[in-house]
Structure 1
């Protein structure tokens, strides 16, 4: 009779969960000891890095990844990263260890009240009632992670693994299909609204980051001449940002949002919420007369959208059918054809920001100098993982996403995402060059992830924009016209910590030195197995205004 552990390993193989990201403790040893050779174990030094790397791995593969956490302390440390994974819609199977089932009633040392510890961030949480139910619970978690797009948690007492398994079919579907069919009636209704619009605007978001959706939305924009906006705070790009019809990123305040969307009588939003805002402002999202249609694969996004019509569908197939259904030859907007509107949009939008002039001899670098030089050198297929809050507007202005998965950020806004996520992305997609652009303050939240990158020879270039402070917090304090009580941390050496964790690192202080380092590192990035940290000293009190 096989054990529960052996049956669970078979389930993991069936669902391609054969890479285990973990920072384990004693409650996980019965599962991990003697792990078979076909199961890859990846150690991270903090649970935030465990879940962050698994999140990047899952996003890059567009398939569930497995994270293994240690009872109360491990799950508790990982809650913030689980929240990020949920908002990033990353499919994760999260197995959490628990004390021995046979004395749980006595609340022994390391026992945890785990079911509610992560709140409602998991899409599913299950403690199997018997040891024999563990393999089925892992299978159900894989389905839930994939269909509900988030982390699904399975809590397993440590003695369950050695128990005999049942020779019964798993209480979970052997196959679960997500239909790619686009309902013809829904497609027709949206196409009619698009065709009747005199001025159409498209808003795209992270949910549209798929090769099929990019291709379909590009055809739709070109046939209608619609200008395309990226959602604010978008974690992924939903449209090629070097396309002439790409208009930019939506502002995150209602006043400017109304102004930006004011020219359109119809706004078609695809794969994005309607609309993500920060901070709060009074007033409507759009002006009277502007109608909103949402197409999304996220039911919760549809439920809260103030839209005239919301359609929940698989986006690649729906958008392809919609692009096929829209007649690009029809006149629209005062007699302009779709092609004429396209040329008009291309002339009026997507004027990429001119890069700043290089600093004069002896002048400090700014973040925009670094980003402009990256933009000149990065291959189109690069995955850029971002976590630099004070420099994100510069990055959007200077470094366009040119391929699906060309841009990745933390949808939740919690710091500590980029370093481990970049590691996971590169492990899942070794054919894609990966660059992480991170503020020094952000890097400190999961600096331990560099050890995992070095230990497993994950070839990522980590560009750390080091201004020695939380610059975004300083700017927020300035808006309140008050002083900030927090100090700077210029004495912190990210490159020094990187080297202590076994990762190659350099500190860059000048423009010529920056160019030399980028020219040496980036051409070999696609084939590199050596992680490198470039800690680039930048001036904190200057903001590039494109």
Structure 2
């Protein structure tokens, strides 16, 4: 195989394999045979002439690349492989990498670099990559020699799994065709993760719960998954305790149609204290204690409450106000507690019943987000994965559309926009048999709108429900609440999401009426699991008058 540079002529059929071939073997060994990328010139040597068993997925912006990979890794439970182009590519992906880190999704990210042989002269496209995306990567590798690259990629897989986030490897473009050498990669070929149960600490937890007069449970993203849902549900029923979802959670930690589900904790301290008032023991499972926004004075929880935290993430305990924190997995801990705590009478109904359906708007009245959510709740298949990125109407979505199956809800815990649209594509790629719906604001969708091309090109059958109010409604509401006067940003009602979607190859429908929306959802939701092409519903709605 040859390149334009005669110094890089390498016979890939020679007995000693190349770095490129050795890395392909690492990818196969770890099940990372789908490559998510938006390549540049520093990636040509790596990507051209890929073997048939490696599947390449292009996105038109690096935020969409990483968002798709994050969705895929979430759906499959395996690290996804990402290839980015030197400085511009890595910088464009920074927000999406921050989301992957906060959502605790493992990614192996190879970042291209200029030719190693003239890096000392700061050539064109040489990347100053160290620290470019801060400390969001769980690990960053700069292999000292070309032959160290395969081992560094294997280690990145190890670091991504154990650190539960993106691990980066920077690879100069001339490394790929160099001899790989014979050294075994300094990372295990198979990583199995499992924390032991709490052992003697189970007795301490059980005693605190048994002595509680009125315990309450708060669940978080780390309680998502079939075994966690089953164990948490059984424990909550035995304790007779209501169950709240953490604020700003990336995933649902409990079946939200269960009678014990109390709702989502609000994003302000005073409201959290009001929600948890009267409960003397607060058991937090798989969540930080607690993520809040905006700032308010006062304590996070009632002064008379004892907070017990069980989390698999040590860093969640570093900024926790829990009285006692335990680093352990949720499911085995709950299973161990089931045999130690006494059964008590439970709550027969939710502390916060689901919102009553809205009456359809009268003639001349606009649709509201609640109307859209009521129709979705009525028609969504139970196993739907719903991706949310509609900040101004998120509380309304939570009140009206419960997550009813493990992995049924996904959002960006970091709060940055541009995640939801590409994440839905990656989720459908990774879980093709499940229905996938993304609920997006029109403003939010524009941060990742290029992803619709990937959805159309790769025939990804996700449904994109876009709530179009022609502006940044969450910003408008926050500006109003600040009392500082009129905000300087304009609306963007001229933008047609349906028109953009069609221009990117997607089937799209603009909807403004209740009957029209009901008919569209009735047509599409029952067959959503089997869709083989994307659909965008661009729904004209009035902005919600309040947030929170």
The 5 Å alignment of 1:327-366 reads 327-328=342-343, 338=344, 340=345, 342=346, 345-347=347-349, 349-366=351-368
Quote the Cα distance in structure 2 between the aligned partners of 1:156 and 1:489. Answer: 41
Q: 1:91-116 CA deviation, whole Å, 9 max, x = no partner? A: 11111000111111111110001121
Is the Cα–Cα contact under 8 Å of residues 505 and 533 in structure 1 kept in the other structure? Answer: yes
Q: 1:475-518 CA deviation, whole Å, 9 max, x = no partner? A: 11111222111111111000000000001101001111101111
Q: How far apart are residue 180 of structure 1 and its match?
A: 4.5
Quote the Cα distance in structure 2 between the aligned partners of 1:350 and 1:254. Answer: 18
| Alignment counterpart, residue 172 of structure 1, candidates 187, 199, 203 | 187
Q: CA RMSD in A?
A: 1.3
Quote the Cα distance in structure 2 between the aligned partners of 1:348 and 1:319. Answer: 21
Quote the Cα distance in structure 1 between the aligned partners of 2:133 and 2:545. Answer: 39
Quote the Cα distance in structure 2 between the aligned partners of 1:176 and 1:96. Answer: 24
| Alignment counterpart, residue 152 of structure 2, candidates 111, 125, 137 | 137
Query: Match for residue 496 of structure 1?
Result: 499
Query: Match for residue 101 of structure 1?
Result: 116
Is the Cα–Cα contact under 8 Å of residues 47 and 69 in structure 1 kept in the other structure? Answer: yes
Q: How far apart are residue 541 of structure 1 and its match?
A: 5.1
Is the Cα–Cα contact under 8 Å of residues 297 and 312 in structure 1 kept in the other structure? Answer: yes
Q: 1:424-444 CA deviation, whole Å, 9 max, x = no partner? A: 000000111000000000000
Q: 1:63-82 CA deviation, whole Å, 9 max, x = no partner? A: 21111100000001000111
Structure 2 residues not aligned, in runs of 5+: 1-15
Query: Match for residue 331 of structure 1?
Result: none
Q: 1:129-170 CA deviation, whole Å, 9 max, x = no partner? A: 111111111111111111111100010011111011122221
Query: Structure 1 residues 350 and 431 mapped into 2: Cα distance closer, same or farther (>3 Å)?
Result: farther
Query: Match for residue 94 of structure 2?
Result: 79
Is the Cα–Cα contact under 8 Å of residues 36 and 82 in structure 2 kept in the other structure? Answer: yes
Query: Match for residue 233 of structure 1?
Result: 248
Is the Cα–Cα contact under 8 Å of residues 242 and 350 in structure 2 kept in the other structure? Answer: no
| Alignment counterpart, residue 371 of structure 1, candidates 352, 373, 377 | 373
Quote the Cα distance in structure 1 between the aligned partners of 2:315 and 2:138. Answer: 12
Q: 1:309-334 CA deviation, whole Å, 9 max, x = no partner? A: 11111222222222333232xxxxxx
Quote the Cα distance in structure 1 between the aligned partners of 2:151 and 2:350. Answer: 56
Quote the Cα distance in structure 1 between the aligned partners of 2:133 and 2:396. Answer: 34
The 5 Å alignment of 1:158-197 reads 158-197=173-212
| Alignment counterpart, residue 509 of structure 1, candidates 509, 512, 517 | 512
Q: How far apart are residue 215 of structure 1 and its match?
A: 0.4
Query: Match for residue 335 of structure 1?
Result: none
Q: 1:352-381 CA deviation, whole Å, 9 max, x = no partner? A: 110101111232111110110000000110
Query: Structure 1 residues 35 and 177 mapped into 2: Cα distance closer, same or farther (>3 Å)?
Result: same
| Alignment counterpart, residue 204 of structure 1, candidates 200, 207, 219 | 219
Q: How far apart are residue 544 of structure 1 and its match?
A: 9.6
TM-score normalised by length of structure 1: 0.96
| Alignment counterpart, residue 169 of structure 2, candidates 154, 157, 166 | 154
Q: How far apart are residue 171 of structure 1 and its match?
A: 1.0
With 254-263 and 171-180 compared, the bigger mean Cα shift is at 171-180
Q: How far apart are residue 225 of structure 1 and its match?
A: 0.4
Query: Match for residue 445 of structure 2?
Result: 443
Query: Match for residue 4 of structure 2?
Result: none
1:465 equivalenced with 2:480 (yes/no):
no
Query: Match for residue 224 of structure 1?
Result: 239
1:214 equivalenced with 2:229 (yes/no):
yes
Is the Cα–Cα contact under 8 Å of residues 38 and 62 in structure 2 kept in the other structure? Answer: yes
The 5 Å alignment of 1:30-429 reads 30-328=45-343, 338=344, 340=345, 342=346, 345-347=347-349, 349-429=351-431
Is the Cα–Cα contact under 8 Å of residues 418 and 445 in structure 2 kept in the other structure? Answer: yes
Number of equivalenced pairs:
532
Is the Cα–Cα contact under 8 Å of residues 242 and 350 in structure 1 kept in the other structure? Answer: no
Quote the Cα distance in structure 1 between the aligned partners of 2:288 and 2:24. Answer: 38
Quote the Cα distance in structure 2 between the aligned partners of 1:313 and 1:56. Answer: 25
Q: How far apart are residue 350 of structure 1 and its match?
A: 4.1
Structure 1 residues not aligned, in runs of 5+: 329-337
